[in-house]
A and B are shown apart, each in its own frame.
Chain A
Amino acid sequence: MLILTRKANESIIIGDNIRVTVIEIQGDKVRLGIDAPRELSVHRQEIYEAIKEANRRAVLDGRGLEELLRQVNLEAGKKGGD
């Protein structure tokens, strides 16, 4: 990993067209400004990771799903038959 020291208002350039600027440093927080081409998506790592984990967990393994559908259909059918 390349490690660089930057002060507020200083930037780094990645490739030709990505610029990361240190906007502000306050205590243990750093605010970063990112200029990147539109087609590149920039995410906070923890949010991307949370969604990734949730998707992997969400891949259907069957049993609960059948129960869920049966329950919903059953209740709907019950009402419909009244």
Chain B
Amino acid sequence: MKVDFNSAATTALADATLGSPVVIEALGLDELEAAWVEAVGLSRGARVVVLRRAPLGGPLHVRTSDGAELAVARSLARAITVSAVLEGGAT
């Protein structure tokens, strides 16, 4: 898994702050699974916002910059590395 420590602090998507935009940095998944996740709409470089988390460790409700909304399993969200978007950053 590639993580660029020079950029803003990275974290797992599962731990991202609610309502704050983040950028997907890396997908810690095997190749085929990563390709599928990207095809659904969570690709490297995509900007997403976590809207809410389901109770009891359930899935995350995420909105992508394309306007799509997705339910993402918590386990999957732990494998996705994101970094915070600075205010005024490009979409």
Q: Do A and B come from one complex?
A: no
Which residues in B have some Cβ–Cβ distance to A below 8 Å?
none
Which residues in A have some Cβ–Cβ distance to B below 8 Å?
none
